[in-house]
Structure 1
Amino acid sequence: MQTDTAPRYTSYPTAPHFHAGVDADEVKGWIAALPSGEMLSLYVHIPFCDRLCWFCACHTKQTRRYEPVAAFLEALQKEIETVGALAGNDTQVAALHFGGGSPTLLTPTDIVALMATLRKSFAFAADASISVEIDPNDMDEPRLDALAAIGLTRASLGIQDFDERVQKAINREQSFEATRAVVDGLRDRGVGSVNLDMLYGLPHQTRESLAATVDKVLSLHPDRIALFGYAHVPWFKKHQTMIDEAALPDAEERLAQYELAARLIKRAGYVTIGLDHFALPEDSLAVAAKAGSLRRNFQGYTDDDCETLIGLGPSSVSRFREGYAQNLPATAEYERRVRAGSLATARGIALSDDDRLRAWTIERLMCDFGFSVPEATTRFGAAARTILAEAAAMAQEPEPLLLRDGERFVIPSARRPLVRLAAARFDRYFASGTARHSAAV
């Protein structure tokens, strides 16, 4: 088993283990089995950008014409109507997230129209959270107005790094002034929460340049900050070959960058959330972390406690009690399938009892850096003995990633940056898998 790389564990089992045995008919059954009154989380994937950032590992394509986007939106609206009809009137949306790609590539008219289709097809709770990923370079006053019109409650802005040399090396030029204008515009329109996303481990990035970016980020007073490690996976995303590997910091420097940025952010009064998020103490994410109810899904850490997540759009992933399902990644094939009135399911995985036990263990490690022995036993009964025995064996190792502390197994503070490696030890698929993963820190 590799010791320097590991999955990001936004699901368990992870996506490389999804297979074609889970098809549209099975997913229809899972949707039909949703309990009456089920609260849903929706994820809408917009697979287009008007520029291709070389660091990006998302399923997206660059386009300079809007015609492909308009054609895609027609298909997306059809999928929304199909899935909404299957979910029925006894479910309710508690959270909606627009991701990409760049959702803010859409015209203001299309942003409003897309939200209208969602509200027509699904019942929304009065206090439903609505969040969107924003590329500040896309934004203008009409788009800000459109986001306010759809009831946006949380905005997540991609920053990565404000250093010009780093920006050029990743094809993501974006000024601090433009970013600040978008943040101010969102707050002027009553958007209650602003998240800012940063990266460490980028080409030509240094501790000094990263510290300067952190200082600018803090000056914007975000409610949350995400500090992700750059995932260099050129075998998976060919455009990353445009990045000069010789300019990438080594593992020791990556860790030093993370520790420096985390220290500066915490010094400013933010609370550490899991591996790579920070939030103001009064933010709902910090409240959830303190209460032990933090969750992790394909958008990262969240306070969204919905058991069911329905993904819409190409490559999007759904989570049901029965398992995971992923849509077709190719936009053209996705459009053909949904226009025919079918679900766009391409693959997935049905969960075994062992999968559920290990998924819970891994999620608690990723969220809380530990898990409760009594809670594991209460939830899973005698089956929990398997996990507890594995954890006890790990605690006896010379340099343990896990220790017994009373009625909990915990990751030592100094080893928390290696939480993905600890989680991988409970991954039944990892040791025998062939998938390649990004650096664990």
Structure 2
Amino acid sequence: MFNVNFNFLEGLHQPAPRYTSYPTALEWESSDAHPAYLAFERLREDDRPLSLYFHIPFCQSMCLYCGCSVVINRREDIVEEYIATLIKEMELVHTLLGGKRKTSRIHFGGGTPSRLSRALFEKLFFHIHRLFDLSEVEEIAIEFDPRSLRNDSEKAEFIQSLGFNRVSLGVQDTQAAVQEAVRRRQSHEESLHAYEKFRALGFESINIDLIYGLPKQTKATFTQTIADILQMRPDRLALFSFASVPWIKPHQKAMKESDMPSMEEKFAIYSYARHKLTKSGYQAIGLDHFSLPEDPLSIAFKNKTLIRNFQGYSLPPEEDLIGLGMTSTSFIRGVYLQNAKTLESYHNHILAGSPATIKSKILSEDDRIRKWVIHKLMCTFVVSKEEFSDLFGYRFDEYFCESQERIDSMATTGLIQNSSSFLTVTPLGELFVRVIATAFDAYFLKTVSSSPRFSRSI
């Protein structure tokens, strides 16, 4: 564990992106469908497999910490209409691809995708098989709310029958006081039951999501949460920092400020959890993931082939990712795309026969270079200056000369080591890699804003 003083933490407690994309979504431009047509035209140049992401935005209630794109809804007819539109979007993508395209990975996120009815799941998968080639699919994953088993005790068996082989369980915290404070009432026994069910079914990979920095959390309470999770021993864990963005998600204001852990307490929670997990046999992966040594994620991290995308850390190769559904994001051949952010707008775009794109970013050469560097830092904690030069034809130190002052400062404070051959993140710097990465973010360096843009690093 790291013992650092208040002034040191305060200096690093800065707003910083999570860099699941570069440039970040704040830098994407309002757009019509033209960039989407360009991206799909590039995609037709070869037949490499792609990945699909399906966004199911519906939740029955709002968790106060939530930063996702969700729609609070209990009406089945609204969900049915959404799935019908989602199928039409798949048909449009099928046409733009010129036929059935091999698909290696599929991910369902939300919202609460596990709350879809069996009938709607079956309908959706019928059309997925009709429109995409799943003959070589490696992974079909879903974000699963353990509370989904309340109304359908055999939902796990059902989704396995559809082909799902990886599941991510939303737990966040096992302590009742914390759950009450964030309005997510889910007992540890309920989470444990879901975990044991998926384990007994033989799912290839089980992940558990946790969040630190929530109201009523302390190092002592989170010590018990970590103990509860280690009792399960999932293949992977995600330990996310609570992203406080009330200017984007006003419902977060309902959490009492007096209940929130201080900056020092939040850092102590994370530092303890990271220490305990690694001492218990987990490999720390990048910023906020952990996996058992034999897990493919650990192997990719050790081989320095890990990639970062909208789902966080992922396995190589870096494939074209097509996002389907309201607010979904895609990355196709150097083009970022984002779908419409409301149900009405999404429906209207798709029913008009057009991609639902409302924002896009076509990467420039400089964007591609900086994306490579930032994702190397986020995924491997080291940048080879020789590899950089071989790939892009520039000398690293010359290309980033405007960042030299910040690089020197971070080296002085012990966050990085900078030599003629490598820029390496230190063990202490790994905890603040988001801040380190901002030194190479051209948009972050140039933007001066009086209003907040990103959550803070601690």
Q: Give the alignment's TM-score, normalised by structure 2.
A: 0.92
Deviations 1:367-392 (CA, angstroms, capped at 9, x unpaired) = 11121111111111127454454565
Aligned position for 1:19: 29
Deviations 1:200-223 (CA, angstroms, capped at 9, x unpaired) = 111110111101011111111200
Equivalence map 1:332-371=2 (5 Å): 332-371=344-383
Aligned position for 1:30: 39
Aligned position for 2:309: 297
Selected match of 2:421 from 407, 411, 421: 407
Deviation at 1:314, TM superposition (A): 0.6
Q: Which moved more, 1:349-358 or 1:380-389?
A: 380-389
Equivalence map 1:151-166=2 (5 Å): 151-166=163-178
Q: Does the 8 A contact of 1:323 with 1:348 survive in 2?
A: yes
Letter in 1 for 2:431: P
Distance 1:142 1:74 in 2: 25
Distance 1:89 1:36, change over 3 A: farther
Letter in 1 for 2:438: A
Aligned position for 2:249: 237
Q: Does the 8 A contact of 1:109 with 1:146 survive in 2?
A: no
Deviation at 1:50, TM superposition (A): 1.1
Distance 1:272 1:361 in 2: 20
Aligned position for 1:78: 88
Q: Does the 8 A contact of 1:394 with 1:402 survive in 2?
A: no
Distance 1:250 1:387, change over 3 A: farther
Q: Which moved more, 1:303-312 or 1:45-54?
A: 303-312
Selected match of 1:10 from 20, 23, 40: 20
Deviation at 1:24, TM superposition (A): 1.1
Letter in 2 for 1:440: S
Deviations 1:13-50 (CA, angstroms, capped at 9, x unpaired) = 00011111x42122112112213222211111011101
Unmatched 5+ residue regions in structure 2?
A: 1-10
Distance 1:219 1:38 in 2: 41
Q: Does the 8 A contact of 1:328 with 1:344 survive in 2?
A: yes
Count of aligned residue pairs for this structure pair = 440
Q: Which moved more, 1:95-104 or 1:403-412?
A: 403-412
Aligned position for 1:48: 58
The SS at the match of 1:165 is helix
- Residue identity over aligned pairs, in percent, reads 37
Selected match of 1:417 from 424, 427, 431: 431
Unmatched 5+ residue regions in structure 1?
A: none
Give the CA RMSD over aligned residues. Answer: 1.8
Distance 1:393 1:91 in 2: 47
Equivalence map 1:25-424=2 (5 Å): 25-34=34-43, 35-89=45-99, 91-139=101-149, 140-382=152-394, 384-389=396-401, 393-397=405-409, 398-399=412-413, 401-405=415-419, 407-424=421-438
Distance 2:256 2:356 in 1: 37
The SS at the match of 1:126 is coil
Distance 1:310 1:127, change over 3 A: closer
